[in-house]
Amino acid sequence: MAATDVVGRIKAHIGKTQKPVTATVEAGHLRRFAESIGDPNPRWNEEAPPTFLVAIAPTSYHLDEAEQYGKGWLNGGNRFEYLEPVKVGDRITATGKVADVYEKSGSSGNLLFIIFETEYTNQHGRTVARLRGTAIRR
């Protein structure tokens, strides 16, 4: 299949919102996450460290079509915006969407950029954080 067809079919996902994922912030999960970063701050016994919300729901969702472009994924970048602290016991809902899809030519061939955006709300319906991620197929 020509790459342009693949790109077109991936572009069809722009603006589509994924089924929300809801999870409760657990103390044990916070501890394992902080340990995996090697961050010993006792604050993370009760509160989510800055990048924890990525562990609540995938930052990018699986696009079968994207697997047909290039041979692997790279993470191009992430942006985190915080509106409220996230604490143990909070029930967080993550809603993700594809915000943009575009192709660029790189030194070792073409690259496909897929921009994912995720909004996180708590049990009170308030937005606590937003995440933007750039996934690259190469």
Residue numbers at the binding site for another protein (CB under 8 A): 29, 32-33, 35-39, 41, 43, 49-51, 54-55, 58-59, 71-82, 132, 134
CB of 125 to another protein, least distance (A): 21
What are the distances in angstroms from CA 124 to CA 86, 90, 92, 103? 12, 9, 9, 39
Q: Could you give phi then psi for residue 22, rounded to 5 degrees? A: -120, 140
CB of 1 to another protein, least distance (A): 20
CB of 12 to another protein, least distance (A): 24
In the complex with another protein, which residue's Cβ is closer, 12 or 27?
27
In the complex with another protein, which residue's Cβ is closer, 105 or 108?
108
Gap between the Cα atoms of 120 and 95, Å rounded: 7
Q: Could you give phi then psi for residue 6, rounded to 5 degrees? A: -60, -45
